[in-house]
Structure 1
Amino acid sequence: MELIYKGKTKDVYKLSDNQVLLKFKDDVTGVNGVFDPGANTVGLTIDGVGRSGLKMTSYFFEKLEKTGIPTHYISSDIDEVSMTVKQAKAFGKGLEVICRYRAVGSFIRRYGAYCEEGMPLDKFVEVTIKDDERGDPTISKDALVMLQVLSDEDYEKIKTLTKEICDVVKAELAQKDLELYDIKLEFGKDKETDEIILIDEISGGNMRVYQAGNYITPMELEKAFLG
């Protein structure tokens, strides 16, 4: 297989028929050895976290497909720690969309003068641009449209999809007494149909989840959620 892209937490290989293979790694984002789903560098390696992430991702993508939400998911191979997906076109050089239910992480670092740790938020959606050199800065809707990264319609569609997707994830986690504080998603356009679809993954590696006020690590989350 031809290696297309070597990422922080996954490598991407080209398959035939507008499909690609995502190979999950045991690396997670963070700073100084501490996991942080919002970080733009690999912070540590956790044995088995790739398989764990793929199991959760497969579960959520299959759940979303049943609800009619468009994703890039085709199939997964847990033993090979890989997932076959539709090839998608990125918006610009890549965007990340964060949905926040409680104030933690970078939200507190930026807006701590106006809120307290863990304060409830009403599905606050924000977008960051993938740019390691500039620290993945947040960007407004107006800037995205002016810079022709997104159209006004695409932005609103992504915002609506984000809230729908995150509510599904939040409700699923709540069935196991797990509370979603925030989650990071990615979107692209289906290379064949041009439809906006959810891409990348949905796992402990891109969300913060708490149980009875205590933070749950990605590996612990998969065990608590899937058993």
Structure 2
Amino acid sequence: MASPPELKIGQKLSEGKTKQIFELVDQPGLVLVQSKDQITAGNAVRKDQMEGKAAIANKTTSCVFKLLQESGIKTAFVKQHSDTAFIAAHCEMIPIEWVCRRVATGSFLKRNPGVKEGYRFSPLKMEMFFKDDANNDPQWSEEQLLEAKFSLAGLTIGQCEVDIMNRSTVAIFEILEKAWATQNCTLVDMKIEFGVNVKTQEIVLADVIDNDSWRLWPAGDRSQQKDKQVYRDLKEVTPEAMQMVKRNFEWVSERVKLLLEPKASGRVVVLMGSISDMAHCEKIKKACASYGIPCTLRVTSAHKGPDETLRIKAECEGDGVPTVFVAVAGRSNGLGPVMSGNTAYPVINCPPLTPDWGAQDVWSSLRMPSGLGCSTILSPEASAQFAAQIFGLTDHLVWCKLRASMLNTWVSLKLADKKLQACSL
């Protein structure tokens, strides 16, 4: 990296086994998270220095948080500052580790004798542990968390907040699981922590997510594991063994950059029967942009210029870019059916219905001749979302945005209900 800009570092706010948190004097509400070259296991029963670990961990965390933020997950991460530090929103941390498991291994097997290693959890298995080194981070129930009545940055952790953290943990795991699958790597389990933003009083994903935070098995094979478990399993810590551990951490930090790269490219081509439909089509284009999907607008009429409509279709098919067509035609919609009957690409009808004849006109989009498979979606935004769901089957970045959007919709409803209940009391 280029030389980072100078920061006015204030007092040390906290220090953990692998990082230090400093206030930023000239940037109220922000902190500097400085990684350390230390690696630990078993609540620091085993502790060693690993030269370069701070930079590796910071690089991994920064990439992971960028992926989550670009997907739409609310996090404390602001930006990477240097090779070994990043800037984050100042949070009061909720002293709970949320653990999400896809595959049974590690401590779960010890606590649940009889379950074989490799048992797959569908849905995901959720657990929480109270951060208490003196008592080896005991497992907690939801009831214990509620009874603790934690109050952080002016926010009391109640049922609503617990539900949000639970649901968010699942979404975060699934996003990272989908991303790691593009590298033929199984995300086995993961631990994360949440904090309360001192400025907004929002619960956000905080702390770090690096190679200490998860188990990663390339090709689903534990013998190829690349995470900190290799360090935990060492019978003897030798310089050679530490080099092997470091190579694994470096492998992860290099691969994690690839999670930000799309695996497939596609586009939406909106065909409008008249330029008067432009406002309707612009809504589709704007919604496509929110999913990172390119969108092109064209004007053509299947009734008045069928040859031109089919020429545009052939042009889009000829360049090899995966395409979803959206047909925007009111009154008698011939555009969608003609396209659907002449292309193997998906076609979505999104007619701009008018108050006077809309109830009658919509049937020209709904009543398709046999052999045609185009769908009809009246909302411009929903038609873009459906196109995104199609592309999300092959592009993990689009899928991640869809998954985060689902979470954010659920959270907004949960918070609205909490506010309503508070007003009713």
Question: TM-score, normalising length from structure 2?
Answer: 0.49
CA distance in 1, matches of 2:143, 2:218: 37
Give CA deviations for 1:68-90 in whole Å, capped at 9, x if unaligned: 211001111343x1010000112
Closer/same/farther in 2, CA of residues 42 and 190 from structure 1, 3 Å limit: farther
Aligned to 2:81: 77
1:140-151 alignment, distance < 5 Å: 140-149=141-150, 150-151=157-158
Give CA deviations for 1:61-107 in whole Å, capped at 9, x if unaligned: 1111122211001111343x10100001122xx11111111111111
Counterpart AA for 1:171: K
Counterpart AA for 1:187: F
Root-mean-square deviation (Å): 1.6
Structure number with higher strand proportion:
1
Aligned positions, number: 216
Counterpart AA for 2:108: F
Aligned to 1:51: 55
Q: Is the 8 A contact 1:40 1:135 kept in 2?
A: no
**Aligned partner (choices 254, 261, 264) of residue 223 of structure 1:** 254
Q: Is the 8 A contact 1:40 1:136 kept in 2?
A: no
Instruction: Give % identity.
Output: 25
Unpaired segments of 5 or more residues in structure 2?
A: 1-8, 151-156, 228-248, 259-425
CA distance in 1, matches of 2:39, 2:179: 23
Counterpart AA for 2:53: V
Structure number with higher helix proportion:
2
Q: Is the 8 A contact 1:129 1:138 kept in 2?
A: yes
1:23-62 alignment, distance < 5 Å: 23-31=34-42, 39=43, 41=45, 43-62=47-66
Counterpart AA for 2:212: G
Aligned to 1:193: 200
Aligned to 1:34: none
Closer/same/farther in 2, CA of residues 128 and 211 from structure 1, 3 Å limit: same
Aligned to 1:192, the other structure's residue is in SS state coil
Aligned to 2:117: 117
CA distance in 2, matches of 1:11, 1:42: 19
CA distance in 2, matches of 1:164, 1:50: 27
**Aligned partner (choices 202, 215, 218) of residue 208 of structure 1:** 215
CA distance in 2, matches of 1:169, 1:40: 27
Closer/same/farther in 2, CA of residues 125 and 189 from structure 1, 3 Å limit: same
Aligned to 2:97: 96
**Aligned partner (choices 6, 11, 14) of residue 23 of structure 2:** 14
Q: CA deviation at 1:170?
A: 0.9
Unpaired segments of 5 or more residues in structure 1?
A: 32-38
Give CA deviations for 1:145-188 in whole Å, capped at 9, x if unaligned: 12213311111100111011111111111111111111110001
CA distance in 2, matches of 1:47, 1:61: 23
Between 1:43-52 and 1:207-216, the stretch displaced more is: 43-52
Q: Is the 8 A contact 1:53 1:203 kept in 2?
A: yes
Closer/same/farther in 2, CA of residues 206 and 124 from structure 1, 3 Å limit: same
Aligned to 1:68: 72
CA distance in 2, matches of 1:219, 1:109: 30
Give CA deviations for 1:100-129 in whole Å, capped at 9, x if unaligned: 11111111111132x111211231111111
Closer/same/farther in 2, CA of residues 42 and 70 from structure 1, 3 Å limit: farther
Q: CA deviation at 1:40?
A: 5.7
Aligned to 2:212, the other structure's residue is in SS state helix
CA distance in 1, matches of 2:189, 2:158: 25
Give CA deviations for 1:25-80 in whole Å, capped at 9, x if unaligned: 1222314xxxxxxx46553332222211111211111111122211001111343x
By relative contact order (CA 8 Å, sep 6+), the higher-ranking structure is: 1
Closer/same/farther in 2, CA of residues 194 and 56 from structure 1, 3 Å limit: same
CA distance in 1, matches of 2:170, 2:186: 16
